[in-house]
Amino acid sequence: MDIITDYVLPDEACHGLVEHSHWNGVEYRRVQKVFVVRGDAIARYEQDLGPATSFPHAHDTQIFSLGDDKVAELQAEAEKDRHDPYWDKVAKELSEGSTLKADTIRELESAKVILANQSTFGPYHSKQRNN
C-alpha cells in the first residue's frame, strides 16, 4: 500500500524522484513523483507539470537517493535534465552513424538466397543447386 502525501518541503529528506510522460485519456502529461522519508515510511508526492508537448527534450528520468539528498536538490536536477537537449543529440548521432538497418536488410537478402537454394547470375538468370 502506498502512502500518498499532498505536500513536500524543499529541505525534506528525499528517497528518490521519477519523472515521465503519462497518458491521462486525453493527452500525454509530464508527471513528477517525489518520494520522501516521513518517519519510518516512504511517502509519494505526485505533481502534474503540464502537457508533454511543452517539454520537447524531456526523457524519462529516475534519480535515486537514500534520504541523503533534499527534495529541492533532486527537483533542480530533474529540471535541468528536462530542458537539456544532450540526449537528443546523442540519439541523433548514434542513428546517423548506425548501419543496423542496412546490415539487417543485407543479411535477410542473403538468407533468402540461401533458403531458395539458387545462385544468381545477373539480373535475369539463376541456377538451382541440388545440395
Q: How far apart, in whole angstroms, are the C-alpha atoms of residue 57 and residue 111?
A: 40
Q: Residue 129: what pLDDT? A: 67
**pLDDT range class, residue 118, cuts 50, 70, 90:** low
Share of the chain above pLDDT 70, in %: 92
Q: What is the mean pLDDT of residues 63-80?
A: 92
Q: Residue 43: what pLDDT? A: 93
Q: What is the mean pLDDT of residues 17-25?
A: 92
Lowest mean pLDDT among 9-23, 61-75, 85-99: 85-99
C-alpha distance from residue 45 to each of 19, 42, 66, 95, 121 (Å): 12, 10, 16, 37, 68
pLDDT for residue 131 is more than 60:
no
Q: Residue 21: what pLDDT? A: 93
